[in-house]
Structure 1
Amino acid sequence: MTSMISTFIIDVDTMDMIVKDPETLFKYLAGTLVATGITLKVWPYLKSYSTSIDSAKTNKNKNKKVNQKQTKPREIQSLQRRFLPVFFLFRMSFWMAGPYFFQVYSSKIFLLSGGSSTSNITPEATAKLFVGRISLIGYLAIVLLSSFTGKFTEKYGHKAATLCAGILYGIGSISVFSNTPFYLYAGRAIGSVASSWLCSAPESWLIGEFLTIQGILNKKEKEKSSSSKRKMDDDDEDDEDDDKNDNKKVCWLSETFALAYGGDPIIAIIAGQTASVAANHAGNPTGPFSLSPWFIVTALVFVTLYWAENKSNRGGRSSEEEKNNHANDNEDKKSSISSNSNDDDDDTAVTTNDDEDDDEQPFTEQSRCTGLQMIFSDPKILLVGVVQSLFEGSMYIFVVVWPPAISNSVKRYFGPTAITPFGTVFSCFMACAFIGSIICGKLSKARSVDVKSTMTGILFISTIAFSVAVYAIQTQNLLTIIVAFFIFEACVGMYFPSIGILRSKLIPDSHRSTIMPLFTIPLNVLVVGVIYFHPTLGDIGALIIACVACAIAAVCMIPLRSILREEDRQRRLDAKNKWAKLKIASVFLSKLHRTRRKSDLLKNTSIRSVGRRASLTSVENSRQSLCTRASIC
């Protein structure tokens, strides 16, 4: 009894020490969440380690052969070494600036009143008004200037686009040190456009460089196959080997993306802690923004030294490679056609390419109409678009709401002088998203749980989490707010893999590039509207809108789930009917085979009897001939 009382006292003492200040509280929560995520991630590997040792010893020779077949090419290793450090440096810069976005701009509230403190508006409302305007400027800049960034990337290449976007992002980060409203608005617009540009340009460079390497590897394989002088009968086998090699190369690209986005939550957790240390060291929220540009500069140095330029023309190949391909094609034509006809063919080739370029512009205008027609003609695409727009809209609303909501609750709980460690809170959110992605992976491996059910559960749990957060903000209960926000971030971690699977099943690849941008229109309308009216709505009103959006998304997911389940059931019935038909056909064919076999046996027996008779007659004739000869002698 005394030991139980002592342990209880110790637990109470430790809890008092943890809840002493907000920094200690959120550090303890971040450590617990990170340890939980690492345990969930590593435990299956540790569990299967003992069994894998025995199997590795018994199948040592087989594993050597498999590893020899699946060795990563040097070109792919070089590509990953060039891309992954740049990607992680960019993400480090993003995640460092994100947690202190609200605090750094809310510290500029004196700019709205011209430096005077006499105003009827409270400082909190003024801060929300200014941050809302800044956020609105950023979203509008992305919507208006995204087409120009795309044209720049197509014209000058992905490396140039990455360098330009990195420089602009650095300018946007440095602009927070200004006290002039114009420079703050302009810097936010530039930083928002650059951040969205940096999310697409490096990945496009990776895909283009991978396609170039894939072409080089294909040429090497063709040279090896031509030097070996195989027979013509083995051409089919060669094609199958090429398909297998292509599949392996595609796996290297997916492995690169998996390494990048698998390490992204870890980078986000480290960035949150680094941002918190930088803010405490600087004594103001501009500390992370002074450290963030250095990661951008380091990434740009890597890009300048180790990246080669490529463009998105013809599947991401570089212009130099296209010129070489055109030259090779012309040489092949010259070897088979005379010079006069070759000139005519070159002219016609140029004109056909010009016609193709002319046809691409009306195709992009028509693709929007076809995308809208496909969305409204197929209820599955419409429902998944509504789900995506509403949930991601609520997610961006949460990004705007969580800093002031947690800051006010921290001041109410710890005192008006308490400082919120936004970087550590952000690390907790990223750890929750990491745990959610692990749980989603485990549910996807389970046969009893499908993606449709997982997505429905995510939306309903998010709705409950938002409703609990609304109640907690009204009652100023800090622990309840933390739990509700952590649950929603775990749902965010589960959402992105699930919606990716649903989009891959429902949206056709031929129209995905035209349908996906259309989903962002209602999303931007929702987010911009809430940000614009955030000073009037407040944190509670914005969260209520996010809760309603998640609820509508959950309601839309129910008919989508039923439609997909009905299609799966119909597909299973069709498979059973096909199997029954195949079974009947196989029985019929087996009976037919038996009857043919019997007829063949009868034919064979008749042929054998005729042969025997013929042989007997021939023997008798030969015997009679011998007897006649003997009598004559």
Structure 2
Amino acid sequence: MELFYYAVFGGLAAVVAALELSKTNKDRINTSTAFNSFKNNYLLVYSLMMAGDWLQGPYVYYLYTTYGFGKGEIGQLFIAGFGSSMLFGTIVGSLADKQGRKRACVTYCITYILSCITKHSPQYKVLMLGRILGGIATSLLFSAFESWLVAEHFKRGFDQQWLSLTFSKAIFLGNGLVAIVSGLFGNLLVDTFSLGPVSPFDAAACFLAIGMAVILSSWSENYGDPSENKDLLTQFKGAAVAIASDEKIALLGAIQSLFEGSMYTFVFLWTPALSPNDEDIPHGFIFATFMLASMLGSSVASRLLARNSTKVESYMQIVFVISSASLLLPIVTNFLVAPSKVKGGGISFSGCLQVLGFCTFEACVGIFWPSIMKMRSQYVPEEARSTIMNFFRIPLNMFVCIVLYNVDAFPITIMFGMCSIFLFVASILQRRLSAIADKPKTEDWAMMKEKDAEGEPLNVM
């Protein structure tokens, strides 16, 4: 079956290369030298941050199994990470707006490095602490860096459309190329050099330290609203009012929660789905293949975002439907292909079919990231960007925690079915967002700020 892995990887690589080499002027955006320098600096940092994250991804579940923990205990460890992100996410997001996004990015590096160090211990409590630190770091990764970028981009007077170029390049590199190299590098450390499943975590800590040095030496600080010294409670209230008073922000938050909740559940499920009978599968290589599929998606997204005639709100409806169908494949193969009873061995025929479906889902993930970033830059107010973005993560983390808590109660096909349903609901909400996106932008956020300044009561209905 090794030929199958190489065939899928090679086929995806050929398609990505063809897409990149066939780009025309219509698919490119003309920019300035100053912007290119700014963009490349951010891409370097983002790639190092994602290398630190992606090196860990394929081996978290596997490392816990080598320490002798079962699926239920591993599920609890994952719950600790997502629960930590849910509990502390809004706080760290608000602190990023208040204390500075650069400081928050440095905090991410320190927190994640400490999380990597805990992986050396087989003690359950130490691993639990590592998951809590990792959850805090994840909240910062998906809010502070984007918030810093958007604020710095406009502070330097760059064109708004150029922001989509940085988003698509960041996903192409950080969530694509870097992820692929990280998967292969992790496979090299664990399988070829036989350094053990903890070695990718040590490598991740090194990349995070390098990225932190670049941030400290080259980034300037920016804040959510430097003109106002608001406490955390006021920031929470302002973010909640912004979400409640603008349907577009609320829809965007629901869409993000549904998609990312399904995506993070998939991260937990793909390993047991492809090896239900302890089949010997190359985790790092399969992960690299998934990331190549994500890279393909980001390449498609960069073309779509470069064209003013193509609306992100419209094509994302199709993306969500395709992603919903792709996660139905484990259920379909379970009915059409008789499950194998043989323990060990290589990947099964149904496993091969699922790999193709999972690659399709990852391609949708590659389109999703730059597209949701583009929509957030349009609809989420700058004053409390990090706070609002972490508000979005509360229902997402709650959903993932519920699924993982009941991981032993339901068959894996049921959990894939739940994810598929949530993705289909996301497509319906995206259709609604597309319908109201053409309406004049509401002034609710500005009115809320004006009332708040005048001491008038805020009406969130």
Which range, TM-score by smaller chain? 0.7 to 0.9
Q: Deviation of residue 253 (structure 1)?
A: 6.6
Residue 263 of structure 1 is matched in structure 2 by: 173
Q: Does 1:108 align with 2:67?
A: yes
Q: Deviation of residue 97 (structure 1)?
A: 0.7
- 5 Å-filtered alignment, 1:127-138, equals 128-138=71-81
Task: Decide whether aligned partners of structure 1 residues 296 and 563 sit closer, same or farther in structure 2, where only a CA change above 3 A counts.
Answer: closer
Residue 288 of structure 1 is matched in structure 2 by: 200
Residue 33 of structure 2 is matched in structure 1 by: 72
Answer with 171-180 or 555-564: which moved more: 555-564
Q: Deviation of residue 385 (structure 1)?
A: 3.8
- 5 Å-filtered alignment, 1:347-496, equals 357=229, 363-375=234-246, 378=247, 381-408=249-276, 418-442=279-303, 450-473=311-334, 475=337, 476=339, 477-496=350-369
In 2, the alpha carbon distance for the partners of 1:71 and 1:279 equals: 43
In 2, the alpha carbon distance for the partners of 1:507 and 1:86 equals: 24
In 2, the alpha carbon distance for the partners of 1:104 and 1:399 equals: 15
Residue 221 of structure 2 is matched in structure 1 by: 310
Name the structure, 1 or 2, with higher relative contact order (CA <8 Å, separation 6+): 2
Q: Does 1:180 align with 2:159?
A: no
Q: Deviation of residue 132 (structure 1)?
A: 0.7
TM-score, normalised relative to structure 2: 0.78
Residue 549 of structure 1 is matched in structure 2 by: 422
Task: Decide whether aligned partners of structure 1 residues 464 and 290 sit closer, same or farther in structure 2, where only a CA change above 3 A counts.
Answer: same
Please list the CA deviations of residues 419-452 of structure 1 after superposition, one character each: whole Å capped at 9, or x if unmatched. Answer: 2111111111111122223334445677996544
Q: Deviation of residue 483 (structure 1)?
A: 1.7
- 5 Å-filtered alignment, 1:127-166, equals 128-150=71-93, 153=96, 157-166=100-109
What amino acid is the match of 2:368? Y
- 5 Å-filtered alignment, 1:183-198, equals 183-198=126-141
In 1, the alpha carbon distance for the partners of 2:432 and 2:225 equals: 40
In 1, the alpha carbon distance for the partners of 2:250 and 2:153 equals: 34
- 5 Å-filtered alignment, 1:573-612, equals none
**Count of matched residue pairs:** 423
TM-score, normalised relative to structure 1: 0.58
Residue 536 of structure 1 is matched in structure 2 by: 409
Q: Deviation of residue 32 (structure 1)?
A: 2.1
Please list the CA deviations of residues 365-391 of structure 1 after superposition, one character each: whole Å capped at 9, or x if unmatched. Answer: 54245235315xx4x555444333222
Task: Decide whether aligned partners of structure 1 residues 403 and 447 sit closer, same or farther in structure 2, where only a CA change above 3 A counts.
Answer: same
In 1, the alpha carbon distance for the partners of 2:14 and 2:418 equals: 34
Contact 2:85–2:139 at 8 Å: present in 1 too?
Answer: yes
Contact 2:171–2:370 at 8 Å: present in 1 too?
Answer: no
In 2, the alpha carbon distance for the partners of 1:313 and 1:442 equals: 31
In 1, the alpha carbon distance for the partners of 2:386 and 2:204 equals: 32
Q: Deviation of residue 184 (structure 1)?
A: 0.9
Please list the CA deviations of residues 433-475 of structure 1 after superposition, one character each: whole Å capped at 9, or x if unmatched. Answer: 2222333444567799654442222222222222222222453
Residue 450 of structure 2 is matched in structure 1 by: none
In 1, the alpha carbon distance for the partners of 2:53 and 2:244 equals: 37
In 2, the alpha carbon distance for the partners of 1:456 and 1:199 equals: 23
What amino acid is the match of 1:189? I
Residue 344 of structure 2 is matched in structure 1 by: none
Answer with 157-166 or 545-554: which moved more: 157-166
Please list the CA deviations of residues 308-343 of structure 1 after superposition, one character each: whole Å capped at 9, or x if unmatched. Answer: 66352755xxxxxxxxxxxxxxxxxxxxxxxxxxxx
Q: Deviation of residue 262 (structure 1)?
A: 3.5
Answer with 361-370 or 520-529: which moved more: 361-370
In 2, the alpha carbon distance for the partners of 1:493 and 1:532 equals: 28
Task: Decide whether aligned partners of structure 1 residues 26 and 287 sit closer, same or farther in structure 2, where only a CA change above 3 A counts.
Answer: farther
Contact 2:262–2:419 at 8 Å: present in 1 too?
Answer: yes
In 1, the alpha carbon distance for the partners of 2:372 and 2:425 equals: 16
DSSP 3-state at the match of 1:100: helix
Task: Decide whether aligned partners of structure 1 residues 190 and 449 sit closer, same or farther in structure 2, where only a CA change above 3 A counts.
Answer: closer
What amino acid is the match of 2:209? V
Task: Decide whether aligned partners of structure 1 residues 366 and 163 sit closer, same or farther in structure 2, where only a CA change above 3 A counts.
Answer: closer
Residue identity over aligned pairs, in percent, reads 28
Q: Deviation of residue 196 (structure 1)?
A: 3.1
Task: Decide whether aligned partners of structure 1 residues 495 and 157 sit closer, same or farther in structure 2, where only a CA change above 3 A counts.
Answer: closer
- Long gaps (5+) in structure 2: 340-349, 441-461
Contact 1:387–1:553 at 8 Å: present in 2 too?
Answer: yes
In 2, the alpha carbon distance for the partners of 1:179 and 1:28 equals: 37
Contact 1:159–1:307 at 8 Å: present in 2 too?
Answer: no
Residue 243 of structure 1 is matched in structure 2 by: none
Q: Deviation of residue 283 (structure 1)?
A: 5.9
In 2, the alpha carbon distance for the partners of 1:420 and 1:459 equals: 29
Q: Deviation of residue 550 (structure 1)?
A: 1.8
Task: Decide whether aligned partners of structure 1 residues 188 and 383 sit closer, same or farther in structure 2, where only a CA change above 3 A counts.
Answer: closer
Q: Deviation of residue 484 (structure 1)?
A: 1.4
Residue 27 of structure 1 is matched in structure 2 by: 6
DSSP 3-state at the match of 1:282: coil
Please list the CA deviations of residues 472-502 of structure 1 after superposition, one character each: whole Å capped at 9, or x if unmatched. Answer: 2453412221121111112222233444455
What amino acid is the match of 1:428? T
Task: Decide whether aligned partners of structure 1 residues 541 and 273 sit closer, same or farther in structure 2, where only a CA change above 3 A counts.
Answer: same
Q: Deviation of residue 532 (structure 1)?
A: 0.8
Contact 2:258–2:426 at 8 Å: present in 1 too?
Answer: yes
Please list the CA deviations of residues 157-216 of structure 1 after superposition, one character each: whole Å capped at 9, or x if unmatched. Answer: 55554444323312211222211111111112112322432444455555676678x4xx
In 2, the alpha carbon distance for the partners of 1:313 and 1:563 equals: 27
Q: Deviation of residue 130 (structure 1)?
A: 1.7
Contact 1:162–1:198 at 8 Å: present in 2 too?
Answer: yes
Task: Decide whether aligned partners of structure 1 residues 194 and 557 sit closer, same or farther in structure 2, where only a CA change above 3 A counts.
Answer: closer
In 2, the alpha carbon distance for the partners of 1:155 and 1:383 equals: 26
DSSP 3-state at the match of 2:281: coil
Contact 1:273–1:423 at 8 Å: present in 2 too?
Answer: yes
In 1, the alpha carbon distance for the partners of 2:146 and 2:431 equals: 34
Task: Decide whether aligned partners of structure 1 residues 448 and 479 sit closer, same or farther in structure 2, where only a CA change above 3 A counts.
Answer: farther
In 1, the alpha carbon distance for the partners of 2:95 and 2:375 equals: 32
Residue 276 of structure 1 is matched in structure 2 by: 187
Task: Decide whether aligned partners of structure 1 residues 458 and 210 sit closer, same or farther in structure 2, where only a CA change above 3 A counts.
Answer: closer
Q: Deviation of residue 134 (structure 1)?
A: 0.7
In 2, the alpha carbon distance for the partners of 1:535 and 1:92 equals: 31
Q: Deviation of residue 95 (structure 1)?
A: 0.8
* RMSD of equivalent CA atoms: 3.7
Contact 2:144–2:386 at 8 Å: present in 1 too?
Answer: no
In 1, the alpha carbon distance for the partners of 2:20 and 2:107 equals: 37
What amino acid is the match of 2:204? S
Contact 1:158–1:309 at 8 Å: present in 2 too?
Answer: no
* Structure having the higher Rg: 1
Please list the CA deviations of residues 234-266 of structure 1 after superposition, one character each: whole Å capped at 9, or x if unmatched. Answer: xxxxxxxxxxxx346x67776655543332211
What amino acid is the match of 1:399? V
- 5 Å-filtered alignment, 1:193-212, equals 193-202=136-145
In 2, the alpha carbon distance for the partners of 1:405 and 1:472 equals: 11
Contact 1:153–1:311 at 8 Å: present in 2 too?
Answer: no
What amino acid is the match of 2:171? Y
In 2, the alpha carbon distance for the partners of 1:257 and 1:31 equals: 26
Task: Decide whether aligned partners of structure 1 residues 152 and 457 sit closer, same or farther in structure 2, where only a CA change above 3 A counts.
Answer: closer
Task: Decide whether aligned partners of structure 1 residues 283 and 28 sit closer, same or farther in structure 2, where only a CA change above 3 A counts.
Answer: farther
